[in-house]
Amino acid sequence: MKAAYRSPYPVPGVIWASLPLPAILINEAGQIVEANPAAEAFLNTSARALSGQPAFDRIAIDAPMDEALARARANQSALNINDVDVTTGEKPPVQCTIHIAPMHDNPDICMLILSPREIADRLGRSLGVKTAAKSAIGMAEMLAHEIKNPLAGISGAAQLLSMSLSPEDREMTDLIVEETRRIVKLLEQVEQFGNVRPPDRRAVNVHDALDRARKSAQVGFAAHMTIVEDFDPSLPPTWADPDQLMQVFLNLIKNAAEAAGTDGGTIRLRTFYDLSLRVRRKDGPPAALPLNVEITDDGPGLPPEIAAEVFEPFVSGRENGTGLGLALVSKIISDHDGWISVESVPGRTSFRISLPMAPKDKRKDY
């Protein structure tokens, strides 16, 4: 077998590192030469560990890849393979378009780029959405305090006026009071989203936070729901802020209860241990997130048009929804070095939160 071709970056380094799609270079022997940062994240390992490895031992592609690579080299031209399943063996297959192109300075080397359908669909619009959303949040934060003060005056004046009005006329002042309170709540959510304090992390029993959230929900917004617990009692503690963790669970349970409507339904709280998920940090090697919490409901599911962007600010599937609840949940989990994902079909929506374990030397008070 030929030795792995070694070249630091046969493509310009800045472009290679900045490419938002997973890309690897493969030599004629089928070995990985280089992997860009997006590929490292996709494969959950480092470029150093991948170098020299057989490419299709590390990534399974449902297409005749040896034939495609040979054709690209023979013709010295790029080719695409559309809509094929790609998996690393550690997570469900992702449908991608495969781009293959020989390197002009070394025709034995081919670049393989994976373009997941979700990224391809979202890339053109999500960057603009995120930028606009962040700008909108910043503007709303600056204005929220100034707006809340006159709203309080308007509400107070309407309540004073109502004292001298007939019951029929009082409907209008009641409407003013109700609408000003609704606007104040919206502004408070915007302020809350922009001013989440850094987590005060300690060793926390996930089940304690879940139990607190369940009890609070069942005497309020989830009183019409059946909540089922499926806990793994052997889970070690996570490294988290207990109040912020409870806030996350409350928000997700509230979403499930609101999705069910007045007819009610079932919410399942499940915890389990799973070492398969590793997230690569900017400043270190992949980190394990073995502690998992799933909050699942049997409601109608997320609207397909927002499912891919449900954690973005101001994206909501409910009429009069603010679209800040799940964005706040995502922000808190990110601040805890965790990961959140969602799978949704009619009749089953499941939010999965993956969290790190508390360091051993921090568990003495647990």
Residues 192, 328 contacting (CB under 8 angstroms): yes
pLDDT at 26: 92
Domain pair 13-120 / 122-194, same fold? no
The half-sphere exposure of 104 on its side-chain side, counting CA atoms within 13 A, is 1
Angle at 224 between CA 221 and CA 226, to 5 degrees: 110
What pLDDT does residue 317 have? 58
Total-model pTM: 0.53
Per-residue CA distances from 72 to 23, 57, 69, 119, 341 (Å): 16, 21, 5, 25, 36
Give the dihedral of Cα atoms 327, 329, 334, 337; nearest 10 deg.
-170
Given a contact cutoff of 8 angstroms between Cβ atoms, the answer to whether 271 and 320 are in contact is no
Point out which residues pair with 228 in neighbouring strands. Answer: 268
pLDDT, the chain, mean: 79
Contact yes or no for 203/237 (Cβ under 8 A): yes
Q: CA-based diameter of the chain, in Å?
A: 94
- CATH code that applies to domain 13-120: 3.30.450.20
Distance CA 365, CA 343 (A): 36
For range 19-30, the mean pLDDT: 87
Q: Which residue has the higher pLDDT, 162 or 357?
A: 357
Region of residue 321 (left: phi > 0; alpha: psi -120 to 50; beta: else) = beta
Class (C level, CATH) for 122-194? mainly alpha
| Residue 122, pLDDT above cutoff 50 | no
Confidence of residue 203 (pLDDT cuts 50, 70, 90): very high
What pLDDT does 114 receive? Answer: 87
pLDDT of residue 128: 44
Spans of all domains in the chain: 13-120, 122-194, 202-362
Better-predicted residue by pLDDT, 327 or 206: 206
Tell me the pLDDT band of 124, cut-offs 50, 70 and 90: very low
Stretch 4-28: mean pLDDT, rounded? 66
pLDDT at site 239: 93
Q: Is 186 exposed, middle or buried (0-12, 13-18, 19+ CB in 10 A)?
A: middle
* The pLDDT of residue 235: 93
Percent residues over pLDDT 70 in the chain: 76
What would the mean pLDDT of 205-210 be, rounded to a whole number? 94
How many whole angstroms separate alpha carbon 88 and alpha carbon 97? 16
Q: Which two tokens stand for residue 37?
A: 């940062």
Residues 266-299 have pLDDT tens digits of 999 999 998 877 776 656 667 788 999 999 999 8
**What is residue 131's predicted lDDT score, i.e. its pLDDT?**
47
Distance, CA of 183 to CA of 225 (rounded, Å): 28
Contact 23, 16 (CB under 8 A): yes
Where residue 214 falls among pLDDT bands split at 50, 70, 90? very high
User: What's residue 90's pLDDT?
Assistant: 67
Tens digit of each residue's pLDDT (9 = 90 or more) over 67-104: 889 888 888 888 888 778 888 876 678 888 888 888 87
List, for residues 222-243, the tens digit of each pLDDT value. Answer: 999 999 999 999 999 999 999 8
CATH match of 202-362 with 1.10.3720.10: no
Res. 186 pLDDT band, cuts 50 70 90: low
Whether the CB-CB separation of 358 and 238 falls below 8 Å is answered with: yes
User: 114 Cβ partners below 8 Å, 6+ apart?
Assistant: 21, 22, 23, 39, 42, 86, 96, 97, 98
Q: Specify the pLDDT at position 127.
A: 41
